[in-house]
Structure 1
């Protein structure tokens, strides 16, 4: 039961940070960068479940934004997390070295 509580807390933290970062939006290669757009991936990042097709689609759309997210101290820890790397790999996305 404690494991589920920890996963819920982590998920809520990810969602809260994503919501706070709505103002981070910028245009990169015709894409509006918004960490909130990656919310379909939150469950897969914090658990062992595979990413949904919606998650992978959003991750592909936001790929040009990943360097910006990595440079943002508030987002870097989430993009570099083992769960995020697992989801990116499962979606066939390489997290760039910026």
Structure 2
């Protein structure tokens, strides 16, 4: 009886942790997080350290942004590619 109770509690904890990780991952893909990069993307100024940090944090979201028609032009522009490369983030192949 006690072993089945412990197994049930462990199963619930695993499910809760998995759900929490999914919601955190979903919440992190926010284009507004890249706002420190806008001046570098829209002009030829070099990216700031904060911009590079944000791009590295949003790296897993870049394909999602590429699939969004309103975001694609910002992600595929020559300056955006230059910023990503300067920050040491590989350009994703989606």
Looking at structure 1, the residues matched to 77 and 24 of structure 2 have their Cα atoms a distance apart, in angstroms, of 23
Q: Which residue of 1 aligns with 2:87?
A: 91
Structure 2 runs not aligned, ≥5 long? 1-21
Shift of 1:73: 1.0
Higher share in strand: 1
State yes or no: 1:76 paired with 2:75: no
Shift of 1:30: 7.1
Flag as ranges the 4+ runs of structure 1 deviating above 2 A.
26-31
Looking at structure 2, the residues matched to 96 and 36 of structure 1 have their Cα atoms a distance apart, in angstroms, of 19
Tell me the TM-score normalized by structure 1: 0.68
Shift of 1:87: 0.3
What CA RMSD, in Å, does the superposition of the two structures yield over aligned residues?
2.0
Structure 1 runs not aligned, ≥5 long? 1-25
Larger Rg: 2
Higher share in helix: 2
